[in-house]
C-alpha cells in the first residue's frame, strides 16, 4: 500500500514513490533517494545483473554534458495583460521559468504565481488552470486539466498536458477572462 505525500512547492497530493510533481515539476530526488526495483525484475537474469552493477549507483552524482542552463528572464519583460472580463489593463508580470496561472486554493492555502482570484468573480478559473513555460526556443502554454478550458487566439482549445508555442501579442482565454501575452 502506497503512503501519500504532498508536494512542498504547490501542495499537490502525490504517491509516496513519486519523484516529481506533475503539476509544478518540483523534483524530489535528493541524497537519500533510493531506487527499489519491482520484485518481478529481481528474479530475472537481466534484473540480477542490473542489481549487481547498479546497486550502489548514486544518481545525485551523475554528470550531464551539454546541458544548457535555463535562460534568465531578466533581459526580457514578459507579462499578461487583462483585456476583458475583469479589471481591464491589469498586468501580471511573468518572472519564473514555469508560471502557474489560476486562483487561490483555500484548502491548501496556496496561490499560483499569476493569481486571478480577484478577477474571477464567476469562479470559471480552476485553481491550477494553465501555466506558461519558458524554454530556450521561446514561451509555451499548457492547460493543466482545467474545467472550463484554455483557448489560444480563439482558435485552439488547449489539450491537457500539451504545450503550445506562444507568440508576442497572443490572446489567451482562461475561463471568462481574456488576457494578452506580451514580451519585449
What CATH number is given to the structural domain containing 145?
A: 2.60.200.20
More confidently predicted of 8 and 147: 147
Please check whether residue 73 lies inside any domain of the structure: no
133 lies in which domain range?
78-183
Model pTM score = 0.59
Q: Is the pLDDT of residue 102 over 70?
A: yes
CA distance 49 to 70: 37
Question: Is residue 68 a part of any domain in this protein?
Answer: no
Same-domain status, 85 and 145? yes
- Identify whether residues 27 and 113 lie together within a single domain: no
Checking if the pLDDT of 168 tops 90, the result is yes
Domain assignment of residue 70, yes or no: no
DSSP the chain: ---EEE-TTT--EEETT-SB-TTT--B---TT------HHHHTSHHHHHHHHHHTT--GGG---SSPPPPPPSTTS-EEEEEEESSSTT-EEEE-SSEEEEE--BTTTTB--SEE-TTT-TT--S-TEEEEEEEETTEEEEEE-S-SS-EEETTTEEPPTT-EEEE-TTEEEEETTEEEEEEE-
Question: Looking at the 3D structure of the chain, how many domains does it have?
Answer: 2
In this structure, the answer to whether residues 55 and 83 fall within a common structural domain is no
Confidence of residue 121 (pLDDT cuts 50, 70, 90): confident
Amino acid at each position: 500500500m502506497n503512503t501519500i505525500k504532498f508536494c512542498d512547492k504547490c501542495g499537490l497530493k502525490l504517491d509516496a514513490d513519486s519523484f516529481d510533481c506533475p503539476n509544478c515539476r518540483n523534483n524530489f530526488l535528493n541524497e537519500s533517494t533510493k531506487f527499489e526495483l519491482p520484485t518481478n525484475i529481481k528474479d530475472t537474469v537481466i534484473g540480477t545483473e542490473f542489481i549487481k552493477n547498479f546497486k550502489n549507483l548514486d544518481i545525485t552524482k551523475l554528470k550531464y554534458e551539454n546541458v544548457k542552463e535555463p535562460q534568465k528572464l531578466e533581459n526580457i519583460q514578459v507579462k499578461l495583460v487583462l483585456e476583458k472580463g475583469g479589471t481591464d489593463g491589469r498586468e501580471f508580470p511573468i518572472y519564473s521559468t514555469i508560471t502557474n496561472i489560476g486562483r487561490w486554493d483555500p484548502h491548501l492555502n496556496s496561490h499560483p504565481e499569476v493569481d486571478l482570484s480577484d478577477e474571477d468573480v464567476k469562479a470559471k478559473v480552476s485553481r491550477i488552470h494553465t501555466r506558461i513555460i519558458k524554454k530556450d526556443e521561446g514561451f509555451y502554454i499548457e492547460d493543466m486539466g482545467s474545467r472550463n478550458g484554455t483557448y489560444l487566439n480563439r482558435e485552439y482549445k488547449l489539450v491537457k498536458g500539451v504545450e503550445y508555442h506562444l507568440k508576442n501579442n497572443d490572446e489567451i482565454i482562461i475561463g471568462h477572462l481574456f488576457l494578452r501575452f506580451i514580451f519585449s
